[in-house]
Structure 1
Amino acid sequence: MSIHLERYSDRYESQIACYQLTDEQLQFTGSPVESILLAKSDEDRYPILVLDDEEIVTYFVLHKNEGVTPYSNNQKAILLRTFSTDFRYQGRGYAKQSLLELPRFVKMNFPEITEVVLAVNQKNIAAQSLYLKCGFIDEGARTMGSHGELIIMSLKVNVLI
């Protein structure tokens, strides 16, 4: 498996339109189509594609400034949101590989960032386990989201790549 992370551009529009999430996945995440629309009117949102041989397998958004505010006081943090793997590619390790690649991608594209923060639904046990395996830390912070309690997790991004 040889993945790479890339910022979204319109040349991927038709692939994003075909990105498949199950109803179960949609309980915990948003659709890439909707989040790209939000990003077009918010310069602090950066849709990121995870590609394997030019096929989009995983998708997420990195959100600076106001996006981070509900979850962290760190001015140099970025929020990981809308993280998902296309249903057709689940179970192949793409999500894990994406998260392991994330610190390097963040340092290269957002050199001022020192921490990645995320909020995961407390009912989403699989995602919590994945985030912990990939180095995210649960320091005990909780908040309420629209679908229940959220666990705030963070990953320090080292200055060295």
Structure 2
Amino acid sequence: METRLVPYETLNALQKQQLDGLQVNPEQLAYSGDIYCALNSLLVNPNPDAIKGFALLADEVPVAFLLLKRPPCLPHWAHEDSATLHALQVDRRAQGQGFGKACLQALPAAARQVWPQIKALELSVDAENTLAMGLYLKQGWVDNGEAYKGRIGHERRLSWVFN
């Protein structure tokens, strides 16, 4: 199966319709939100250069989605020269097939193509979300050792620095 991470705006009408059907497991909704919230934050943003959506296609069918943000849309904890990862969602029917890993492996190149000036990728993950934390750490993200009170519980900051 061939996968590729593509900008949302390059999806055709059928792929956008398929993406609308992406569903996460109910226990993950608190962490990633749903596709409607993610797409809404992308499509109604008044700063289109500050937020970008990406879909992971598996044999041309969307199986995952994520958002990247830059100033002025960065969260308070992020460094100005970074992009932040948000709303990483893998369709529940495609879980366990390596699509989250594929997203993270393709993400640095995709982010740099959009914003060549960035020096790092950053994210915040709920400390209780052990599956996500394990995935990020296995893919080379580094826990910055900082925790703060998030909307659900304590969150950890992770980063992926470009060489």
Q: TM-score, normalised by structure 2?
A: 0.90
| Percent of aligned positions that are identical | 26
Mapped pair 1:27 → 2:30: yes
4+ runs deviating over 6 angstroms: none
Q: Cα offset for 1:149? A: 0.9
Instruction: Give deviations 1:118-161, integer Å, cap 9, x for gaps.
Output: 00001100100100010100011122221111101000123xxx
SS in 2 for 1:65: coil
Q: Distance in 2 between matches of 1:55 and 1:19?
A: 11
Question: Aligned ranges for residues 56-75 of structure 1 at < 5 Å?
Answer: 56-72=62-78, 74-75=79-80
Change (3 A) 1:67 1:149: farther
Q: What letter is aligned with 1:62?
A: L
Structure 1 range deviating more: 42-51 or 79-88? 42-51
Q: Cα offset for 1:89? A: 0.5
Instruction: Give deviations 1:25-78, integer Å, cap 9, x for gaps.
Output: 102111122211111222222111010111111110001114434222x22100
Q: Distance in 2 between matches of 1:13 and 1:33?
A: 12
Q: What letter is aligned with 1:7?
A: P
SS in 2 for 1:123: coil
Q: What letter is aligned with 1:57?
A: V
Equivalent of 1:45, from 41, 51, 54? Answer: 51
Question: Aligned ranges for residues 34-113 of structure 1 at < 5 Å?
Answer: 34-42=37-45, 43=48, 44-72=50-78, 74-113=79-118
* Root-mean-square deviation (Å): 1.4
Q: Point out where structure 2 has 5 or more consecutive residues left out of the alignment.
A: none
